[in-house]
Amino acid sequence: MTATSPRAPGARSRTVPVAERAAHRWEERVQRGAHPLVYPAFRALARRGPVVRVPGLGVVVNDAATAREVLLDTEHFSKVGPGAPSDLWTPVLGPSVLLNMEGEDHATLRRALSGLFTPRSVAQLTQAEAGMSLGTLAPRLLAGETVDLVREVGALAGTVICRMTGLPPTDAAVRDAMVAAQSVVGLVRLHRRSLTPAQVRYAREVLGTLSEPARAAYRDGDPATVPGRMRGLGLSEREALGAVGAFVMTGTETIQSFTPRLVALAVDTGWMDRLLLAAPDDALRGRVVEEALRVTVPTPAMLRSVRSAHRVGDVPVRAGDRVVVATVTCCRADGTFDPARDTDPALRNLWFGAGPHFCLGMPLAMAQVGAVLDALRPVADAGRTLQVVGREVARGVLIPSYRRLRVASAASSPVPVEEAP
């Protein structure tokens, strides 16, 4: 059975199988669970045009090509200034944490840290930790156990980011602080340009619990860690502690959100067996993952402050204006999840940004996705498949995600998609 796809203006029309529509409904629930007001508002704004000025919010960009132009144009648009990420994070993390920097200082720090994020470096780090975190995943599933994939992926992501930042991954206080740090990210609201004073105090208290182990990593100076690299660059201990806080807050939530949603999409649409049986370098695996990234959109919105008078599309802007790149509507305008369809070049990797602020951690995220798929592959090799047996949408989070996604192995036969209530 097929049906016409719900689509945004400009999206290509096609006939959509019922399974894709059911998967789409679950993704809609995930988006609305995180942003019950903002997500529907973004959808409505997309129908008003590619660029829309919204009083109190900013100039909202709903078009992928225009979004890329804004992200590439650092002469007119900045991550530092009124309404930009610096307003949110500098009071908490200090001024030197990449996500609130521009210009040569940003480029210098990015170059210094880039060696930690080469494909080879992240593969070695992830493989070393994945064996410990995920080694029992497939055997447990094949033995009939039901597994919460959100918990499993979160454990891997937390361990990896601890190793990268020099924090002890087995320290219970550190792991508790990392969970609390993720809650800080959930305080962000697009209709507010900064955190409240009470939220800033809370965020500092949470990250303060990480200060001693992070300080030890800085003083140790190990270039295999973020604090060690920053010390070698001549940056202060305080700046290094801020960077550790930034990596802890942002380094786990994306992968913990995306990988369970990838699995849910693949199960719901019948792609799971093909995905698991594909080799790591198989184009099919890359295409399924890329399409899931387009649909889930790890970064729902990106903020910029206007530096000088310019235009965003047909809308004139002036210094101090806030630009909200609605990545979620830009990327999802191309329709429901369909790995067999070619991606619009304008969308390619837009969910990770563009230009000098393109996500430094993308190789690390992709290495962890690959590690989870590799860990699940024995299920398919054994002639079994994965089935989603329960899920719960996360609420009050910045990055839309499942709070729980319970999976089990099942006989390889078509399984009806669990309907979204």
Work out the number of other CB atoms within 10 angstroms of the CB of residue 396: 12
Give the span between the Cα atoms of 285 and 276, in whole angstroms.
8
Work out the number of other CB atoms within 10 angstroms of the CB of residue 32: 17
Q: Which residues of 367-385 are buried (b: 16+ CB within 10 A; e: fewer)?
A: bbbbbbbbbbbbbbeeebb
- Which amino acid, 142? L
% of residues, the chain, pLDDT over 90: 58
* Residue range 18-411, CATH number: 1.10.630.10
248 is written with which tokens? 């802890």
Residue 229, pLDDT score = 87
Residue 172, pLDDT score = 79
Which pLDDT tens digit goes with each residue over 129-167? 998 889 999 999 999 999 999 999 999 998 999 888 888
Residue 11, pLDDT score = 46
- Cα–chain center distance at 325: 15
Residue 419: pLDDT above 70?
no
- Cα–chain center distance at 133: 20
Measure the CA angle with vertex 29, ends 158 and 66; round to 5°. Answer: 80
| Region 316-322 average pLDDT | 97
More confidently predicted of 213 and 277: 277
Which pLDDT tens digit goes with each residue over 69-122? 999 999 999 999 999 999 988 998 888 888 888 999 899 889 888 888 999 999
Which pLDDT tens digit goes with each residue over 2-45? 343 334 444 444 555 778 888 999 999 999 999 999 999 999 99
Which pLDDT tens digit goes with each residue over 114-135? 888 999 999 999 998 998 889 9
Domain boundaries, the chain: 18-411
Residue 264, pLDDT score = 98
Work out the number of other CB atoms within 10 angstroms of the CB of residue 62: 28
CB 51 within 8 A of CB 314: yes
Strand partners, 77: 306
209 is written with which tokens? 């619990």
Question: Which residue's entry shows tokens 């190990």?
Answer: 222
Please, what is the average pLDDT of the chain?
A: 89
Strand partners, 58: 54
Q: Which residues of 217-230 are buried (b: 16+ CB within 10 A; e: fewer)?
A: bbeeeeeebbbbbb
pTM of the model: 0.90
| Region 366-378 average pLDDT | 97
Q: How many CA atoms lie within 13 A of 290 on its CB side?
A: 17
